[in-house]
Amino acid sequence: MRYFWENTVLAFSALWANKLRSFLTILCVVISIMSIIAVVSIVQGMDVYVKTKIASQGSNVFTLQRNNPIQVLTDFDAFLKSLKNPLITLEDLALIRKEIPAAEFVDATISRSDRMTNGSRIVDNARIRGRTEEYPAMGEFPIAFGRHLTRIDIQQRRNNCVLGWDVAQTLFPQSSALGKTLKLGSKHFTVVGICEKKGTILGNNQNQFAFIPVTTFLKMYGSRQSLEIKIRTADMESFTQAQEDVRLTMRSVRQLKPHQDDDFYIDTAEQLVSIWKAISAGIFGTLIGVVSITLVVGGIIIMNVMLVAVTERTREIGIRKSVGARSSHIISQFLMEALILTGIGGAIGIILGFTIAAIVAAVSPLPNSISLMPVIVALVISFSVGIFFGVYPARKASQLDPVVALRQ
């Protein structure tokens, strides 16, 4: 233990004496570990997003959207082109309800984050969802107390809301939220219902939301926004036919010619699963390649830096060996320096990796998914690189003849 602390002090002293060299070495490790943490966290966030999306849809429910948000990762040029697609509007909702007989229930939804308050009690970044009166038929959010939104709420654009369980408990902890008034943004809303408490899906809270009439949502946040239209069929027999009917109806109303591609996207759980499998395989393949290269480059740099340190400190090594230091002491000293460099770089890389993942979550629909496993893997890899690439310089230092070393 005495030698351990002695080597630690000597290692920090040597690294501090060569600040620039130590910084450049740490930077290589930071880039490698940051890549691991950021990509793994983002992929986990995508996993949460996709699986939540799939879980929220029944087997006989499909969605009409302006574009496919996952396409940003599979075909970026096509995604950019899809941003010019016409908006999905309330007129499209009315048309589908009228023209698609296989559609048993049709709901429109749109969402964004906003602050909700009740006096000094605040819920930041609650998910505000504009819905129609048919959203209960999708089976996603059963009511616990009160009622769901009604057709009158939608038609008259009333400031009524249905709260998720956690929002209701946070804003009204001492009494029932039913009939109470709260502020959503700058507007006052009356609580008419509270949804049943739901569990989390892979860490994603399903109770931090509020439903308001879709018409009220568009009035508050602007009508130049695209809706998602959810269609539920009575059974699986009519599911495929309903999709084709919606597709033909949308192409007809938008006057698309036979050779033109759809300027909308129909999303099903089956399509999401196939897309996700392709995306995750590609991302993990790229991750392995990038991280392998950065780790090898970082390790080689660490080894070269340590070899230079051995050359510069030949006389110091000779003095230590001449006064009784064993080869194992010299090896442990230089390995300690390599471990300190990779340890510091690993810690900084973890912090920066999670920061990047948080930024991505803030500017995209992907949730910020952080778990302990990437941290453990990153630390193990970081220290393993330090040991693997630090052994050769350490052994070279330990094999120096003290007489020859003192002459230099």
End position of a domain, from candidates 210, 240, 267? 267
Task: Judge if 162 and 297 occupy the same domain.
Answer: no
Does residue 328 lie within any of the structural domains? yes
Check whether residue 38 and residue 101 sit in a common domain: no
Structure tokens at 301: 């740099």
Q: How far apart are CA 205 and CA 144, in angstroms?
A: 17
Same domain, 204 and 316: no
- Going from the C-alpha of 115 to that of each of 112, 214, 263, 270, the distances in angstroms are 10, 18, 34, 35
Residue among 290, 130, 309, 302 at smallest CA distance from 216? 130
256 and 108, same structural domain? yes
pLDDT of residue 82: 82
Structural domain includes residue 56? no
Predicted local confidence at residue 192, as pLDDT:
97
Report yes or no on 86 lying in a domain.
yes
Q: Is residue 287 part of a domain?
A: yes
Contact 236, 62 (CB under 8 A): no
The 3-state secondary structure of the chain reads: CHHHHHHHHHHHHHHHHCHHHHHHHHHHHHHHHHHHHHHHHHHHHHHHHHHHHHHHCCCCEEEEECCCCCHHHHCHHHHHHHCCCCCCCHHHHHHHHHHCCCEEEEEEEEEEEEEEEECCEEEEEEEEEEECCCHHHHCCCCEEEECCCCHHHHHCCCCEEEECHHHHHHHCCCCCCCCCEEEECCEEEEEEEEECCCCCECCECCCCEEEEEHHHHHHHHCCCCCCEEEEEECCHHHHHHHHHHHHHHHHHHCCCCCCCCCCCEEECHHHHHHHHHHHHHHHHHHHHHHHHHHHHHHHHHHHHHHHHHHHHCHHHHHHHHHCCCCHHHHHHHHHHHHHHHHHHHHHHHHHHHHHHHHHHHHHCCCCCCCCHHHHHHHHHHHHHHHHHHHHHHHHHHHCCCHHHHHHC
**Where a domain ends, among 236, 267, 298?**
267
Same-domain check for residues 11 and 68: no
CA atoms within 13 A on the CB side of 146: 22
Residue 77 and residue 222 in one domain? yes
User: Half-sphere exposure of residue 262, counting CA atoms within 13 Å on the CB side?
Assistant: 16
Calculate the alpha carbon distances from 211 to 27, 176, 185, 217 in Å.
Answer: 47, 17, 14, 9
> Distance from CA of residue 237 to its chain's centroid?
36
Show the domain range for 292: 2-51+276-407
User: For residue 342, what pLDDT is reported?
Assistant: 78
- Asked whether residue 101 falls in the same domain as residue 216, the answer is yes
Give the H or E element holding residue 211: strand 209-213
- Per-residue pLDDT tens, the chain, 408 aa: give them: 555 566 566 666 766 767 777 787 778 788 878 877 887 777 777 777 766 666 665 668 889 999 887 776 667 788 888 888 999 999 999 999 999 988 889 999 999 999 999 999 999 889 999 999 998 888 778 899 999 999 999 999 999 999 999 999 999 998 899 999 999 988 999 999 999 988 665 456 788 999 999 999 999 999 889 999 999 988 878 888 899 999 999 999 999 999 998 999 988 867 666 666 777 777 777 777 777 777 777 777 777 777 776 666 666 666 666 666 676 767 777 677 777 877 888 888 888 888 887 787 776 666 666 677 777 877 787 777 777 776 766 676 666 665 555 555
Distances from the Cα of 269 to the Cα of 107, 272, 282, angstroms: 17, 5, 20
- For the chain, the domain total comes to 2
Alpha helices in 130-172 (DSSP H): 151-155, 165-171
Same domain, 87 and 200: yes
CB 232 within 8 A of CB 150: no
